[in-house]
Structures are given as C-alpha cells and as structure tokens.
Amino acid sequence: MAKRKLSLRSRIFLYMIMLVVMASVLIAGVTIYQYSEQSQDYHRMRLERKESQLISSINYVLKETTWEVKTENLPMIFKDKIYEIANIHNVNFNLYDLEGGLIKMSKPNFEKNDIETCLSADVLNQINRSVSKRFVERINQLGGDYRSSYIMFTDNSAKPLGVLNVPYFDDDSLNYGELREFLIRLSYAYIIMILVAIAFAYFVSKYITKSLQTIRDKMNETRLEKRNQKIELVGASLEVSALVESYNSMIDELEESAKKLATSEREQAWREMAKQVAHEIKNPLTPMRLSVQSFQHKFDSKDPEIYKKVDEYTKTLIQQIDTMSSIASAFSNFAKMPAQKLEFLNVVEVVDLALDIFPESDIEFRPKVTKITAKFDRAQLIRIITNLVKNAIQSIPDDRAPQISVFIHSNHSDVIIEVKDNGSGINETIEDKIFEPKFTTKTSGMGLGLPMIKNIIETYNGSIKFSSVKDEGSQFTLRFPKHSTDAI
C-alpha cells in the first residue's frame, strides 16, 4: 500500500513549526551552555582571587616575621598567623613544604584523614613543570565538585619556600536555581511563541498554497471537449505567475488542438456515415434490381396470372423502397438534430403522452408523483421515450410476453426516468459499443437510436446509463437537470 504524501500546505506548516521548535531547543541548549561556561569562569576567577589574597597575606607575614625566612621555619612563622589569615579571608588553606609534606593547616579541628599529609609526586611534577608554578586538581568528593589549587610561594628573593593548597568547592546551587527559573520563564515564552507560530504558519501556508489550489482546481476542470477558462491571479509570486502563464498558454494550445481534433473526427464520422448509408442503400437495391430483371424476363401479357405477379413484384419494390426510406429518415434524424425549443414541461404528462402509441397491455407506467416540472424540448423528450420503449419491445423474444416498466421520479435538482424490460439483455462483449453510431444488433436499422438519445441528453448536461442481466432484461436510466441553462 503506497504511503499517502503530505500536501504542500501541510509540509510548509510542519516545516515552519519544526523550525520554531528546533530554534527553541537550540536557544535552550545555548542558554544552558552559556550558564555552565559562566559558572566555570566564575569559580575559576574566584579561586584565583582567593589565591592572590592568600599569597599577599603570606608575603606580608614573611616580611614582618622575626624568624629567618626558610622552609624549615615555616611551621613556626605561621604557627598562629595561619589562623588569622584564614579568619580574615574566610578561607581554609594548607601549607606544604617543597617535598610535599604537610606543614600547617588553617583549620585546627580538621581531621587528618580528610586531607593529604603528603602531596603525590604527580602533583609536585605538575607544579614544577608549570610556568606559573600553579596546578589545579579537580576532585569529585561526597557528590560535590571540588577543586584543589596548588601554587608555589617564594621569599623576597624569589626563592621557593613551599606550596600553598587552597581547597575549593564549586557551589552551583544558586546558579542552577537561577538557570531553572530562567528556563521555566523561557519555556512559557516558547509555548506562547509556538502557539503564535502555529497560527502564523497556518495562515502563511494557506496564503502560499492558495494560488496553487486555484491552479489545481482549474486544471481538474480542464476538459478537451469544452471551452476552458484561463487563470487570472493578482499579486502572485514570480514562480506562481510563471506557472499560470504556462497553464494559460497550454489552454490556448489545447483549444487549438481540440478544434483540429473535432474537425478531423467530424470529417471521419461523416465519411464512415456515408459509407454506412451507401451500404444500407445498396442492400435493398440489389433485390429491387433482381425483381425488375425477373419481371422483365418473365413478363407475358397473355399470362392469366399476370396481375397477380405484377402485384407481387409491386409489393416487393414497395417494401424495399420503404426500407430505403427508413434508412434515409434515420440518417436525417441523427444528422439534423432540430433546434431545441425549451419550455417548462410537466415531464410526467409528456412521458405519458409518448407512451400512448404503444399497446397499453405491454407498458406499465409508474410515476411516483403526478407532476415534475423541468425545462426541456417537448419533441426531443417524446423522441427519447419513444426510442427507448421501442428498443425495449424489440429486445423481447417472440416466445416471451412483453413486460416493460417506465418509472419517473426526481430529487431536488434532477429528473430520473427509468425504462426496464424483460428482454434478452445486452451481451457483456458489446456493452461498451451500444452508444456508438451505426452499431446495432438488429437485422435492420442503422444503430442511430441510442447515440441520438445520448447526444440529446448530454446536451442538457444529463447522462444515460444502463444495467443488464442476460436473458432477464435491461434497464436504461436517464438523468437530467430540472433547470438547464447551458443547453439553451
């Protein structure tokens, strides 16, 4: 089963909504990323500020101390000063010697197990390899994000003395709270924006495809057998205008082709009709010629049965002449198609009048109402009913009693006439040919009755259909508008 393709309007609508949603997701992603980067920059710069402040305080203590400034004296130099510095800056820190051994902690009650008493060789190597003599280690501890900064401090002559360790916890709870609040507000704005985008996309897609819808409707209405209207669009885009111009050009070419085709078909139809008429006329001429020749050869004025023979020959000639006359009448009726004389008729009354020429015992007329008014040509309507009933009678085998029913009813716009018989039915192999001119299954006639009916009824924007069951009968159904204006 083939997948149903989305219309251009639906695709434009969906693409615009997808664009808005993707833009919203992208903006949200960029926002989260920006918050994260800002948070990282904030903690980095805050740690650097703390380091700078602590280094300044350490340098001040080293400058003011009475102890000789060297690594071995650091425990005595910062014995009490380390607590003052920690209280002033509200920062806990640790001091290590150059070999990584713990010298002093700013938190007296800090448990030994919670801090490294000796720095690892990797940390010392990282410090020594760094140009700035600084190394920051990230430690995931207790579900939090910790940083531990190690920076080498020196004496006044820039001789290394020890390593300052500043533990730092990245507390992002405030930032995350602000981010959450911002995303909630942003989501409200996105919801409103998406609703506005849906409405905007609906009207924009409708506006964009309106011109294409007009072109599609016109193309669906395009028919070879009728005059097609050109498309006139105001304010259309360049692409749509080019499409409209192509369509209008195609309509001109189509009309020209239709005229040429109609002329060709008409000439071909008349050629075929002329051949058929010539053939039908030759059929009775042959027995007429033979009869005349036989009469001329066998004529004997003294023959006592001469008058009887003359009478027989005369009847034969008259019969063949009548055949020729019926052929000429049928051709004339089909070709002439007299001008329509439209008038408002009681269709029930006209149909009843048309059925008067047939034996009443063979026809069952069943109108559902006594009056149905429609605009039609009286003579053509009688002609249609007469031909249909005549065909119905002729389709019934000789060993079967005729049962022909005529029904008539209507709806709000159309008149429906049905003629049903109990004849031999229509063979499936010829069902698609019965409305073709000159096609007939009878031994006489030219096969113009049903084509004539179809021609008349289609002139009134009506239709003729049939259904048939072999050896049980057929039903022809006529349908035409009550008020036809195109047929005038």
**Maximal C-alpha separation, the chain:** 183
With respect to CATH, is domain 8-176 assigned 1.10.3720.10? no
What is the DSSP secondary-structure string of 91-110? ---EEE-TTSBEEEES-TT-
Sole residue written with tokens 């001119």? 437
> What's the rounded Cα separation, in Å, for the pair 453 and 476?
11
Q: Are the C-beta atoms of residues 320 and 288 closer than 8 Å to each other?
A: yes
Q: What distance lies between CA 186 and its chain's CA centroid?
A: 35
Q: Are the C-beta atoms of residues 104 and 95 closer than 8 Å to each other?
A: yes
Burial of 328 (0-12, 13-18, 19+ CB in 10 A): middle
Give residue 330's pLDDT.
Answer: 59
CB within 8 Å of 190: residues ≥ 6 apart: 24, 28
Give residue 484's pLDDT.
Answer: 56
Amino acid 182 reads F
Give residue 446's pLDDT.
Answer: 39
The CATH homologous superfamily of the domain defined by 338-481 = Histidine kinase-like ATPase, C-terminal domain (3.30.565.10)
- If you ran DSSP here, which 8-state letter would residue 439 be given? -
In terms of C-beta distances under 8 Å and separation of at least 24 residues, what long-range contacts does 456-462 make, across chains too? 456/337, 456/380, 456/383, 456/384, 457/384, 459/340, 459/487, 460/376, 460/484, 460/486, 460/487, 461/486, 461/487, 462/414
Give residue 333's pLDDT.
Answer: 57
> What's the rounded Cα separation, in Å, for the pair 100 and 149?
14
> What's the rounded Cα separation, in Å, for the pair 479 and 461?
9
> What's the rounded Cα separation, in Å, for the pair 251 and 257?
10
> What's the rounded Cα separation, in Å, for the pair 459 and 480?
10
Kindly list the domain boundaries of the chain, sorted by start residue.
Answer: 8-176, 238-334, 338-481
pTM flag (> 0.85) = no
Give residue 477's pLDDT.
Answer: 92
Q: Which fold has domain 238-334?
A: Helix Hairpins (1.10.287)
Q: Are the C-beta atoms of residues 97 and 127 closer than 8 Å to each other?
A: no
Helix or strand or coil: residue 144? strand
- Cα→Cα distances 186→29, 178, 486, Å: 12, 12, 63
Give residue 415's pLDDT.
Answer: 92
pLDDT per residue of the chain (488 residues) written in tens, 0 to 9: 445 666 666 777 788 788 888 888 888 888 888 877 887 888 888 888 998 999 999 999 988 888 888 888 888 988 888 898 989 888 889 999 988 888 888 876 544 445 667 888 888 888 888 888 899 887 765 444 678 889 999 988 889 999 999 988 776 666 677 778 887 887 888 788 888 888 887 777 777 667 666 776 766 666 655 566 666 666 656 666 677 777 777 777 777 776 777 677 666 766 766 666 666 666 666 666 666 776 667 666 677 777 777 777 777 677 667 666 666 665 655 555 555 677 888 999 999 888 887 777 778 887 888 899 988 888 888 888 888 888 888 888 888 888 899 999 988 889 999 999 988 888 777 777 777 764 454 444 434 567 778 888 888 888 988 888 888 889 999 999 987 544 43
Cα-Cα-Cα-Cα dihedral sign, residues 320, 322, 328, 334: negative
Give residue 236's pLDDT.
Answer: 59
Tell me how many degrees the CA angle 273-278-284 measures, rounded to the nearest 5. Answer: 130
